[in-house]
Amino acid sequence: MKLVRTWILMTVIVLGLAQCKITGSDDPAPDPNISKTELLAGKSSKAWVLTSSKIDGDEVINQALSCSRDDNMVYRTAKTYEWNEGGSKCNAKDPQVYDTGTWEFNTGETEIIINKELRYTIVKLTANTLQISLKNIFGETEELTFKPN
């Protein structure tokens, strides 16, 4: 009988804990007083590093060379960006900055437009997460997730 009571008590505790909400988060909702430009580009610039790359829901980031996984996408409030090699280069002779251009939001600030042609849908933009997606020329959905670097 004591074993049955213990079993029932443990079941109630487990079920009760399963109903608890976890409070706090490393990625709180954005402050409505902070513009999307500031979330993306900081006060003057902000570097982001890719943490996840999915194609049609399948994670593919591990297929990239490890030396390219620390590359930074830097957005500036002046509406320019750069891709740079981050802390490691795949080839020591490569330039530190390997791509530059301009960025802008669409009118509703739901898309980031790179060089007035490449349009990424913003899935999530907070102080700690940039998640964007697009349909590539093969009809696949690419989803990229970045964190501040």
Each residue of 70-102: pLDDT tens digit? 999 999 999 999 999 999 999 999 999 999 999
Q: Which fold has domain 36-148?
A: Lipocalin (2.40.128)
Residues 5, 28: Cα–Cα separation, whole Å? 41
Tell me, what's the pLDDT at 11?
A: 37
Which residues lie across from 117 on neighbouring strands? none
Instruction: Return the domain boundaries, the chain.
Output: 36-148
Model pTM score: 0.79
Specify whether the CB–CB gap between 97 and 82 falls below 8 A: yes
Residues (pLDDT < 70) of the chain are: 1-26
